[in-house]
Amino acid sequence: MKPISNKLLVLILTIGVFGILNTEMGVVGLIPYVAERYAVSIPDAGMLVSGFALVVAVAGPTMPLLFSKVNRKVVMVLALGIFSVCNLFSVFAPSFELLLAARVIPAAFHPLYVSMAMAVAQQTGDTAAERAKNSAQVFVGVSAGMVVGAPIAGMLASSVSFPAAMAFFAVVTVAALALTVVLVPSMPVERPMSYGSQVAILKKPFVLVSLLAAATVNAAMFGFYSYLSDYLGSAVGMGAALVSGMLFAYGIANIVGNTLAGRTLGSAPRVTMVAGPVVLAVLYLALFVAGNALVAAAVLLLAIGVAVGVANTCDQYLVSRSAPEAPDFANGLFLTATNLGTTVGTSVCGALIAGGGAHAAVLGTLPMLALGLAFTLARLRLEKR
């Protein structure tokens, strides 16, 4: 098979990453429909999200390590094939237990594909700026899957049917699988590393500080995002239709932020990495002060969406650049760190909501962003040395 252009390869990787993240987070918009369809409680239905995330956190460092010597195309086809089969089964799953199983099984292959896609993008291009841009484009798929899939799936479930919403996940992964099989050439690993040499990156303070920076910033961003729908309705006073529209607009803003970061990381990486948590802290504080002023809150949330897209891309950038000798394993560690960060952030913001109402969730972002900034600055000092 003839080699394809870098642009087409990165596009296919972006679609694949979107399909996998869409499968993970898109179901957030379907939790009430799952509870009704399978006669389970809302917390039980939420296991479709928490169970998936837990498996990703465990598989994050292990699966990329185990498959680090395997042909990249084989990895792509294997992961996308399992996601496609399980997503197709989910459309017709006869019981909640089988639906949960169809979610948990592919979750183990989530970090395998996503870490590999990030590593390939980071190595595609002739210049550092081009490689940073390609990496940011793949992260567009991550952001789109995390924040655009949920409102789309929710709209399909409400206007068409629950199976139609589940079919949406399957269509995307099947399309990515077909594109990979037909267009992507064989991509053998040219210089495979031993497992021991990859694990050895955990001895580097540079790597550990980078992971802590990514985890804490992600805890702030997605800890609050987990309650954004409730925040918009309870604290800001938006109606259900406006909340769906705002969530979709927030997702588009994330993608804009990813694109912006792809450019600035290539030209001014240090400034971009420091600006992320600082700008976010200012915007979250302004959102808290805005209270239920609907227009001000909407404008600030769009700005936050852009800043989150920038900061999310920066998190992945600083982790991957801390261990370029083991990109797959480093990206797997990144996925584990960010998923654990999300778990902690959700708990912190949830505790504040329980004590002070939906409006208090914003305050949970500030201490985590302060930690994120401290770890980022420490990482930059180590890099300078």
The reported pLDDT for the residue numbered 176 is: 96
What residue type is 328 in one-letter code?
A: D
Please give the backbone phi and psi of residue 28, each rounded to the nearest 5 degrees, phi first: -55, -35
The reported pLDDT for the residue numbered 222 is: 81
The reported pLDDT for the residue numbered 330 is: 82
- d(Cα 276, Cα 273) in Å, to the nearest integer? 6
- d(Cα 329, Cα 64) in Å, to the nearest integer? 6
Query: Which residue is it, tokens 């803003």?
Result: 253
Q: Whole-prediction pTM value? A: 0.77
The reported pLDDT for the residue numbered 258 is: 81
> Which tokens in the block code for residue 95?
């019981």
The reported pLDDT for the residue numbered 2 is: 65
What does each C-alpha distance from 352 to 149, 176, 229, 364, 368 come to in angstroms? 27, 40, 16, 7, 14
pLDDT in tens, 195-253: 777 788 878 888 899 999 999 998 899 888 877 777 888 888 888 678 778 888 888 89
- d(Cα 243, Cα 311) in Å, to the nearest integer? 24
Under CATH, what is the fold of the domain 200-385?
A: Growth Hormone; Chain: A; (1.20.1250)
The reported pLDDT for the residue numbered 1 is: 62
**Is-contact 93 99, C-beta < 8 A?**
yes
**Is-contact 109 63, C-beta < 8 A?**
yes
Q: What does the CA dihedral 137, 171, 187, 52 come to, rounded to 10 degrees?
A: 80
What does each C-alpha distance from 385 to 206, 255, 266 come to in angstroms? 11, 33, 21
Class of residue 248 by CB neighbours under 10 A (exposed 0-12, middle 13-18, buried 19+): middle
Ranges of residues in the chain whose predicted pLDDT is under 70 = 1-2, 42-43, 240
Domain boundaries, the chain: 1-192, 200-385
Grouping H, G, I as helix, E, B as strand and the rest as coil, residue 80 is helix
Q: Under CATH, domain 1-192 is a member of which superfamily? A: MFS general substrate transporter like domains (1.20.1250.20)
pLDDT in tens, 342-369: 778 878 887 888 788 878 889 989 999 9
Residues composing the chain: 385
